[in-house]
């Protein structure tokens, strides 16, 4: 295997990094809803997992709530990019709320798959992390037919009604490498299992960029929130390549001792991290003597997702 030479004194930026199409769409939805309906509009849960994005939208007039029950009857509520269970939609309807769905289309795809396989009598094994908003929403589609698989141990111990009618679905923000072990364990137990690759394009691209970056640098900083699954996975992917890596919410979390004896530094960001937070980190590294940053591009991203129809119509006016 050809080794890529490490670069001395440089700051290298992974490309792609930062906002994905689903995050851009979700933020646009909140901003357009504010234009259409005025302040306030309510958002159920964090629209995306990044406190800087949430605070920016809060200043513009969004009110973030944990449950649709906190929204005044008849008001506007937006469902976050991570999706919701049918029970949430039904409750919102019963309370006469005007709902706008900011669920990422790739998450919606997993929901559709779950519904399809349940109707066909399959047991669904969903690989993901307990408590994550995306998992809660997906499992809510068919709670009696979906079992959560968090690791290989779960895969080895899960039981199903019919071993020949099993399908494996995946949380979209996981590491490809992490899910492979779990999927392989499930395939050994259920050779006829249907497998869907639900890890999103943005997650895969950012992980590929980190792997390339790891060949060139001594340290990788991943800018992203602690509750951002894809940001945590980027850190883990970097470490799996044998490189020191840390996830930071923003520049204030960079520790000077991390930089001691480090010749080259890679910087990337999770799919819900604003680019300004990356710029702040790069500026800090420059102030510590590292040369101007340059990008290392692995793949071009040109994916876009359509807005909900009512918001598209507003944009045309």
Task: Give the integer Cα–Cα distance in Å for 47 and 51.
Answer: 10
Query: Would residue 134 show up in a list of annotated catalytic residues for this protein?
Result: yes
Catalytic residue among 7, 46, 68, 134: 134
Q: Catalytic positions, please?
A: 134
């Amino acid at each position: 295997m050809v080794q890529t030479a490490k670069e001395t004194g440089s700051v290298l930026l992974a490309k792609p990094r930062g906002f994905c199409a689903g995050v851009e769409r979700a933020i646009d939805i909140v901003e357009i809803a504010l234009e259409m309906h005025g302040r306030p509009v309510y958002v159920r849960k964090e629209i995306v997992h990044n406190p800087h994005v949430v605070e920016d939208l809060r200043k513009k007039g969004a009110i973030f709530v944990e449950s649709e029950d906190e929204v005044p009857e008849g008001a506007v509520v937006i469902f976050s990019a991570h999706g919701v269970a049918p029970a949430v939609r039904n409750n919102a309807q019963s309370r006469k709320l005007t709902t706008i769905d900011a669920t990422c289309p790739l998450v919606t795809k997993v929901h559709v798959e779950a519904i399809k396989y349940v109707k066909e009598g399959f047991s669904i094994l969903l690989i993901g992390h307990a408590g994550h908003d995306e998992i809660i929403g997906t499992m809510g589609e068919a709670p009696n037919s979906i079992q959560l698989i968090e690791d290989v141990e779960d895969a080895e111990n899960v039981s199903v009604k019919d071993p020949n009618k099993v399908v494996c679905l995946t949380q979209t923000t996981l590491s490809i490498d992490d899910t492979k072990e779990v999927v392989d364990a499930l395939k050994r137990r259920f050779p006829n299992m249907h497998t869907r690759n639900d890890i999103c394009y943005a997650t895969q691209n950012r992980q590929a960029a980190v792997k390339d970056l790891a060949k060139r640098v001594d340290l990788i900083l991943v800018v992203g929130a602690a509750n951002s699954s894809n940001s945590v996975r980027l850190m883990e992917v970097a470490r799996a390549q044998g490189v020191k890596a840390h996830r930071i919410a923003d520049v204030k979390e960079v520790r000077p001792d991390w930089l001691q004896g480090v010749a080259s530094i890679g910087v990337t960001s999770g799919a819900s991290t604003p680019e300004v937070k990356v710029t702040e980190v790069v500026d800090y590294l420059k102030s510590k003597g590292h040369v101007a940053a340059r990008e290392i591009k692995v793949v071009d991203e040109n994916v876009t997702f359509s807005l909900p129809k009512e918001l598209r119509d507003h944009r045309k006016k």
